[in-house]
Amino acid sequence: MKYLINLMFEVLKFFYAVGGQNWGRAITWLTVAVNIALYPLTLTSIQQMAAMQRIQPRLAELQKKYKDDPKRLQQELMDLYRVEGVNPFGGCLPVLLKIPFFLALFFVLQSKDFIALMGERASFLWVANLAKPDPFYLMPILIGVSTWLSQRSMPSSPGQSQAMMMIMPLMIVFISVAFPAGVQLYWLVSNLMGWLQQSYIMSRSGSFSRKVKDRKNHMEGGNK
């Protein structure tokens, strides 16, 4: 972890140098770079979530059919995942990979070296000091809104309720209030990037599905 923290420090200084010598812009560019680097995994993750949504009716049938035989149910589920090419845990990987970057930035912004380096250049937008929490609570609120948008753009998970979609953003607002504004900014930009990427992937996926369906209907119509 120490290596990642030191690496994050150096990367931040690089983006500070090329991003107009502003630490807020440096954090923003860093976050964009991380999300672009993880885009292939984000694409796979959303595809896996969409696949899980697609096979949900069959999962429910198996769970009902073998509810009294857990061992057989487990085997049938594994067979279904294998045949459909679905990894039930495939949707978690991008989130898990972002956590070390989040923690590294958190520790960097709290380090004495970084605070001394920022000096009087720690302000960004309405925040006077990125090493301290946003005094106006706007960042946490925007994090909550962007979390809600991100949730809505993703394929719905089995058992996901509307109540949970509202509770989760509120919990994240509460959790993020005490974080340094620089970490809040990273979280906000990461959410927005995730929302844009997910919306793009789902729109392309929907377009591809419609094309396949139209081609299938056309072929069936020609065979009549």
Work out the pLDDT band at 215, boundaries 50, 70, 90.
very low
Rounded Cα distance, 166 and 173, in Å = 11
**Tokens 């956590």 appear where?**
99
Boundaries of every domain in the chain = 2-223
What are 169's two structure tokens? 């953003």
Q: For residue range 16-69, what is the model confidence (pLDDT) as tens digits?
A: 888 778 888 888 998 898 888 878 877 777 777 777 777 778 878 887 877 777
Q: For residue range 135-190, what is the model confidence (pLDDT) as tens digits?
A: 899 999 999 988 888 777 665 554 555 666 778 888 888 988 988 888 899 889 98
- Give pLDDT, residue 149: 82
CB-based contact 49:157 (threshold 8 Å): yes
Residue 214 in this model has a pLDDT that exceeds 70: no
H helices within 38-157, ranges in order?
39-54, 56-65, 70-84, 93-110, 112-118, 138-153
Residue 213 in this model has a pLDDT that exceeds 50: no
Q: Which residues contact 93 (CB under 8 A, 6 or more apart)?
A: 41, 44, 45
The closest alpha carbon to 150, from 59, 24, 45, belongs to: 45
One-letter amino acid at 203 equals S
What are 67's two structure tokens? 């509810």
125: left (phi over 0), alpha (psi -120 to 50) or beta: left
Work out the pLDDT band at 208, boundaries 50, 70, 90.
very low
DSSP 21: S
